[in-house]
Amino acid sequence: MSAIELPESEMPDAELVQAARAAAEQSYSPYSRFAVGAALRFADGSVVTGTNIENASYGLALCAETVAVAKAMAEGVRGGLEAVAVVGPTADPITPCGRCRQVLNELAQLGGTDPVVLCVGAEEVRSIPLSVLLPHAFGPASLG
């Protein structure tokens, strides 16, 4: 399956998108001024959010998706990841960076799911399975 584009009004996961938007409001991004919010939805209906956190040592910035995964895993979550919403400040949807794809993949593979990643723009949401964003992924199963 590849990307599906839907207007936001037709999205089934409007609440998740809203959670990602709210998370972006907490962004600490004084250097890039590029606020990102992420929201993870799990099989039990729970939602965990994250936002990007930058640093005066620029290269140490933490992405929103990575912060969300870290928050969830720090609370003991090890699977059930069904959907991820990502909201950036641009009109065009943003997709998770390569490192975040790998971080999301760890949690997805642990729980045996292939979450849909909702990349939220001003007028459209691109819905892309993580396995499409990160094909042939290296993950926990690869270690044998």
Among 64, 81, 87, 103, binds ligand THU (CB under 6 A): 64
Three-state secondary-structure class, residue 10? helix
Here the tokens at position 119 are 């990349």
In terms of CB distance, is 89 or 111 closer to ligand THU? 89
Among 23, 65, 80, 82, binds ligand THU (CB under 6 A): 65
CB 138 within 8 A of CB 122: no
Give the active site residue among 65, 75, 82, 106: 65
Q: Does 54 bind ligand THU (CB under 6 A)?
A: yes
The number of C-alpha atoms within 13 Å of 112 and in the hemisphere containing its C-beta is: 0
Active site residue 124: no
Stretch that binds ligand THU, among 3-11, 18-26, 56-64, 77-85 (CB under 6 A): 56-64
CB 49 within 8 A of CB 39: yes
Number of amino acids touching ligand THU (CB under 6 A): 14
Q: Does 134 bind ligand THU (CB under 6 A)?
A: no
Q: Does 39 bind ligand THU (CB under 6 A)?
A: no
Q: How many residues in total does the chain contain?
A: 144
Q: How far is CA 129 from each of CA 4, 5, 97, 126, 133, rounded to the nearest angstrom?
A: 10, 12, 14, 10, 7
Q: In angstroms, rounded to a whole number, what is the distance separating the alpha carbons of residues 81 and 9?
A: 23
Q: In angstroms, rounded to a whole number, what is the distance separating the alpha carbons of residues 107 and 91?
A: 29
In terms of CB distance, is 135 or 144 closer to ligand THU? 135
Site for ligand THU in 74-133 (CB under 6 A): 94, 96-97, 100
List residues with catalytic annotation: 65
Binding region for ligand THU (CB under 6 A) = 29, 32, 34, 36, 52, 54, 61, 63-65, 94, 96-97, 100
